[in-house]
Amino acid sequence: MSSAQISGPQKGFRLSQQQTAIWLAQQRYENQLTCPCTLTLRGNWESERVKAGLERIIKRHEILRTTFHARRGVKIPLQVVAEVGSIDFRAVDLSATSGERQRRELEKIVQENLTRPFNLADGPVFRAVLVRLSTGSHELLLSAPSLCADTGSLRNVAAELFQTRTLDIPTAHEDVLQYADFAEWQNTLLEAEDNDTKTAKAFWEKNAQRQVDVALPLELTDSNSFVPARIEFPIPSELGTALEAAAREHSVKVASVFRAAWQALLWRLSLRPSFITYEVVDGRHLEDVAIAIGPYAKWLPMRWEFDITGLRFDEFLRDSERKLQQALEWQDYASLTPQANAVDAETPRIAFEYRDGPEKHRAGETAIDISDETAWLQPWKAKLTVTRSGGSWNSALQYNAAVLDETSAAKLPGYFLSLLRNAVTNPTKPIAQLDLLDDAERQRLLVDFNATATPFPAGCIHQLFEQQAERTPDAPAVKSGTQVLSYRQLDERANALAHLLRDAGVAADVQVGLLLPRSADTVVALLATMKAGGAYVPLNPADPPERLRHQLAVAKVVITNKSFSKRIDGKFAGTVIRLDQQQSSPWPQKLVAGSSPDNLAYVIYTSGSTGIPKGVGISHRALVNYAAFIQRKLSSAKPMRFATVSTFSTDLGNTSVFPALISGGCLDVVDIELAKDADALARYFA
């Protein structure tokens, strides 16, 4: 972010550790981190009166008139307090609109307020938009850079604004702690060499060492961008009741149950035995800070260990509360470890925050309610905030949309609620066994995703080819080099060979080896085998003799030619049919069906890299289903031209072979040398 150089008599103050971390994060992501808040006003709130009240607050709190100025050659700027501050204030009247149109206009103003950057060098650093919705009803949109405010700060602004409307409050600066004084106190504390500082430093160094980020499912790779996003979701009332009962039973705070469930979910999603997340605390445990304005909130590094076999939720619950109490004891010193306060060089963070809801301000017909508050103290990858309001809880997931897309992020609340529900119901159950899926997600994964049943043609693959041959007998069916066979020619040649196979004893599920060059003859042979009822076994002549011997051991017949037949001399005792010796004319008469959809269409052998090659049989039903699926996906209105460039000894090429032959397309059996030459292949299909 830009900052001005200090010149002249201006006095600058060091940044606090929180401000330093925020500044560094903004430099990395080139985005401002902001703290917006929406106040709902009831009663008589004239714009001039609201503006005057806010100006009075700016006069009282120096941080709201503070700008940031670089020192030459120094990475971290100084903060400079102006004697007189100003506010970026405007009033908008939407009372003439109503309903959906008013809602859209208000949302547009909200988004503009969220995305418009602040001038950190020149100010103003406090912005307000007063939107009049109707008589006695306003929305006041407040925002400030996170360098100047946090959630507690804007809650204090709301309280003081209410007091200016109903009471008289002091305006002297000394009545409230100024943030520059706090920053100096904090830096002095961290620089001390007393025993407390040394003990705290050792504690945080141990807690934050070897930082390991949590990798969430389906993370995007672009982690150098920051796109703030948020999902709100309520905690069901019956679950809230169960939470309170579980907290009483285990003598812990309700916040601890939420916290333990969030960390348990992160472990389940990442499976990392040890990782660090951050606990966001308001930093207002000191009396002077309670009513002050400024970025007092901190994020404490918390290390979680899940490498205990069978770790139960109730055990982790008690341990997590104990760890938090230790961290809170030393929270004033948490900034001693750079990893705890500066942005990690590698990844953004995951955090948790539990807080009570904001106070409601009432006096007769005058009221202020905080209806929305979201502070971005860091560019969180994912941060769960649980807010208690009265007897109920609401949750919000802040996330970086450059790291998690909306679909992935939207699943996290469901996983969290499901695990939380299971944890409070079965606290003695190992965390690894707690259910993450709610009913809707379980239905989607186990039922909807598996509802893939789609009608496909009945019969065997060669029968579908025969039907296509009757529809388009003269259309080209297969092309190999200069040889082209029409559907009629291919069908009749396959019929003639099928009769020979049937005479050789080929019937249902009988395996027939095909040891042939890549050509139209291979297509004739595989169709003939299926017409005879058998299952073809494509053989690769380049395979080692031992592999061929293993494949031939279960074959009854081998179809080959003169040159390739030498590869099986002395290795095969069954019938050998050489296509170059067959002088039979095409045979239009079909054989009586020798197979059913449940019989084998072909057998493919595995590589054998882990032992002996294994034959995998594919049925006609499965092959027809797959070929029909490819047809549906291509959904061409006219016959298409297919090409097969892979060996027939694997079933990869079947994505082209059979969809072509049952749809009226033309199958090009591409020579292997041609397939290796990209330019020649392009000319072939030109």
Based on the fold, state whether residues 676 and 537 are members of the same structural domain: yes
The closest of 419, 417, 281 to 353, measured between CA atoms, is 281
Query: What CA–CA distance (Å, rounded) separates 48 from 87?
Result: 13
Among 162, 191, 220, residue at a domain's last position = 191
541 with 417, same domain: the answer is no
DSSP H or E stretch at residue 5: strand 4-5
Say if residue 406 is in the same domain as residue 511.
no
Terminal C-alpha separation, the chain: 55
Strands 66-70 and 78-81: antiparallel
Among the candidates 430, 451, 472, a domain finishes at: 451
Q: Are 257 and 354 in contact (CB under 8 A)?
A: no
Same domain (yes/no): 445, 501: no
Cα separations in angstroms, 320 against 271, 519, 588, 600: 18, 69, 80, 59
Cβ atoms of residues 246 and 426 within 8 Å: no
Query: Do the domain assignments include residue 202?
Result: no
- How far, in Å, CA of 476 to CA of 488, rounded? 9
Q: Could you tell me which of 273, 282, 279 has the C-alpha nearest to residue 321? A: 279
Residue 205: inside a domain: no
Tell whether 201 is covered by a domain: no
686: its two tokens? 């030109």
Classify residue 364: in a domain, yes or no: no
Closest CA to 164 of 84, 49, 59, 85: 49
Domain containing residue 609 = 461-685
At CA 204, angle to CA 380 and CA 181, rounded to 5?
75
* Alpha helices, H only, 330-405: 338-341
Q: How far is CA 686 from CA 602, 639, 651, 683, in A?
A: 33, 18, 27, 5
Round to whole Å and give the CA distance between 680 and 686: 10
Residue 142 has a pLDDT of 97
Under 8 Å between Cβ of 524 and 587 = no
**CB-count burial class (<10 Å; 0-12, 13-18, 19+) for 636:** exposed
Provide the total of helices (H) and of strands (E) in the chain, helices listed first.
21, 26
What tokens appear for 578 in the block?
A: 């050489």
Q: Which residue has the tokens 């996003």?
A: 229
pLDDT at 336: 40
Q: Does 53 map to a domain?
A: yes
Q: What is the rounded CA–CA span in Å between residue 148 and residue 132?
A: 27
Q: What are 425-449's pLDDT values in tens digits?
A: 999 999 999 999 877 878 888 888 8
Same domain, 151 and 296: no
Q: Are 642 and 668 within 8 A, CB to CB? A: yes
pLDDT tens-digit readout, 482-495 = 899 999 999 999 99
| Cα Dmax for the chain | 113
| Distance (Å, whole) CA 7 – CA 137 | 46
In a shared domain, residues 537 and 555: yes
Please give the angle made by the CA atoms of 392, 404 and 260, to the nearest 5 degrees.
40
Domain count, the chain: 3
Q: Which residue numbers in the chain have pLDDT < 70?
A: 1-10, 167-174, 209-211, 221-223, 335-348, 583-588, 637
CATH of the domain at 30: 3.30.559.10
Q: Write the CB contacts of 114 (distance below 8 Å, at least 6 apart in sequence).
A: 34, 36, 143
Secondary structure of residue 275 in the 3-state scheme: strand
Both tokens of 283, joined, read: 């930093």
Residue 160, token pair as written in the block: 């003081």
Question: Could you tell me which residues come within 8 angstroms of residue 580 by beta carbon, excluding any fewer than 6 positions away?
Answer: 561, 562
DSSP state letters, 601-664: EEEEE---TTSS--EEEEEHHHHHHHHHHHHHHH--SS--EEEE-S-TTSGGGHHHHHHHHTTT
Instruction: Provide φ and ψ at 78, rounded to 5°.
Output: -105, 155
- Tell me, what CATH number does 268's domain have? 3.30.559.30
Same-domain check for residues 137 and 237: no
Kind of pairing, strands 361-363 and 366-373? antiparallel
Token readout for 392 is: 């109920």
Nearest CA to 265 among 394, 463, 84, 432?
432
The answer on 223 and 79 residing in a single domain is no
Rounded CA-CA distance 342/29 in Å is 13
* CA–CA dist 536, 250 (Å, integer): 67
Kindly state whether residue 113 falls inside one of the protein's structural domains: yes
69 near 5, Cβ under 8 Å? yes
Residue 204 maps to a domain: no
DSSP 191-233: H--SHHHHHHHHHHHHHHSS--PPPPTT--S-TT---EEEEEE
| Beta carbons of 351 and 303 less than 8 angstroms apart | no
> Which one of 140, 158, 191 terminates a domain?
191
Answer yes or no: do 567 and 436 share one domain.
Answer: no
Cα dihedral 386→387→389→394 (10° resolution):
-50
| Assigned domain for 549 exists | yes
State whether 393 and 529 are in the same domain. no
CA dihedral over 455, 460, 463, 464, signed as positive or negative: positive
Residues 496 and 642 reside in one and the same domain: yes
My answer on whether 115 and 222 are in the same domain is no
CA distances from 514 to 478, 559, 565, 585, 678 (A): 18, 5, 11, 21, 28
Structure token digits, residue 57: 């607050």
The CATH code of the domain that includes 558 is 3.40.50.12780
